Amino acid sequence: MAEKTVSVIGMGSMGSALAKAFLANNHPVTVWNRTASKCTPLEQAGAKVAKSVVDAAEASQVMVISLLNYEATQSLLQTPEVIEKLKGKVIVQLSTGFPREARESEAWANQNGISYLDGAILEYPTGIGKEESVFFYSGSEKVFEENKALLRCLAGNPRFVGKDAGHAATLDISTISVYYGASLGFLHGAAICNSEGFPVDKYLSATIPLLSGLIPDTLNMSEKMINEGSYTAKIATLDVHVAGLKHLLEFIKENRLDTAFMECVLGYCKKAVDMGYTQDELAAVFEVMKMKVDKKIE
Ligand SMILES: NC(=O)c1ccc[n+]([C@@H]2O[C@H](COP(=O)([O-])OP(=O)(O)OC[C@H]3O[C@@H](n4cnc5c(N)ncnc54)[C@H](OP(=O)(O)O)[C@@H]3O)[C@@H](O)[C@H]2O)c1
């Protein structure tokens, strides 16, 4: 059977990696980019270069989008000429965006007779095409299943995460939160080591075991408690956490380091204590974080 034809819109660092991954799997690829010169490496690798988005839409069965955002996508696709060429075809939106934008895009596509799948990339361009890489997809499960073989070119683990088109973006944003929280936590610890003359390489090797022990244990317990809506302390109460964090903050001040990170962490725990979760686990901080801003205790 002939491989599916695919057009990739956007030859930034991510779009170029996506197009290369399709080419590596013998799919006929057409590329388009606003700045045409960025298509040259892909042309040299075997892709066709479309002169316009209309031509790119006409060229392939599937159109994969990798642009700065959804706004740029709309400005390119929402023209009568492009819509005409996309009818009966598939759009896979891989630009980063909000869940609302994903739902709106799906509604627009379906209203115009275009199949739509929304995706989120949890990789750098260097991770594209690797067996262990993960992409999230949401929206039409039928569209996902029909295009799964094609999507596997981009990441060995294409995961369908829900029929709500916004759910891939939701998971993207929430996992990015883990990425920044964990990474800044690590950097903050490195600054503490630095202030005490402790070597950062030894600090890193001490941190690694936490990633397979204490942290997954805490996450598993938190997930269970959030689902049950009950946080009764089994290991450490929030009172104990607050006392420990206050002590840490004193240390950070004493070493004349930036206090913002620790104040933020302590602030959340104190709010949960103020709400009455004194004898509950750290997971009770979820009750603070889930509140809409206008209802939060100041
Ligand atoms: N790079 C990563 O590690 C990574 C990881 C996960 C997700 N993503 C997502 O992948 C998407 C692309 O990222 P990237 O790293 O490839 O970014 P990039 O290298 O900055 O490329 C951005 C692309 O968007 C195009 N673009 C921007 N505004 C446009 C407009 N108004 N009209 C038409 N084209 C427009 C650019 O065209 P020009 O070349 O003409 O400027 C370029 O093709 C983003 O949504 C990003 O969040 C990236």
104-141 pLDDT, tens per residue?
999 999 999 999 999 999 999 999 999 999 999 999 99
Q: Is the per-residue pLDDT at 296 higher than 60?
A: no
Among protein residues, the one whose CA lies closest to atom 2 of ligand 1: 124
- Homologous superfamily assigned to 171-295: N-(1-d-carboxylethyl)-l-norvaline Dehydrogenase; domain 2 (1.10.1040.10)
Residue 67 CA to ligand 1 center (angstroms) comes to 4
% of the chain surpassing 90 pLDDT: 93
Residue 108 Cα to ligand 1 middle (Å): 22
Residue ranges matching CATH 1.10.1040.10 in the chain: 171-295
Q: Could you tell me the distance, in angstroms and rounded to a whole number, from the CA of residue 148 to the centre of ligand 1?
A: 24
Band the pLDDT of 295: cuts 50, 70, 90: low
Q: State the CATH class of domain 6-163.
A: alpha beta
Question: What secondary structure does DSSP assign to the chain, as a single string?
Answer: -PPPPEEEE--SHHHHHHHHHHHHTT--EEEE-SSGGGGHHHHHTT-EE-SSHHHHHHH-SEEEE--S-HHHHHHHH-SHHHHHHHTTSEEEE-S---HHHHHHHHHHHHHTT-EEEEEEE-S-GGGTT-TT-EEEEEE-HHHHHHTHHHHTTT-SEEEEEESSTTHHHHHHHHHHHHHHHHHHHHHHHHHHHHHTT--HHHHHHHHHHHHHTHHHHHHHHHHHHHHHT--B-SS--HHHHHHHHHHHHHHHHHTT---HHHHHHHHHHHHHHHTT-TTB-GGGHHHHHTS-GGGS--
Residues lining ligand 1, Cβ inside 6 A: 10-15, 33-35, 38, 66-69, 72, 75-76, 95-96, 121, 124-125
Q: Which atom of ligand 1 is nearest to the CA of 120?
A: 7
Domain with CATH 3.40.50.720 in the chain: 6-163
What is the rounded average pLDDT of the residues 18-33?
98
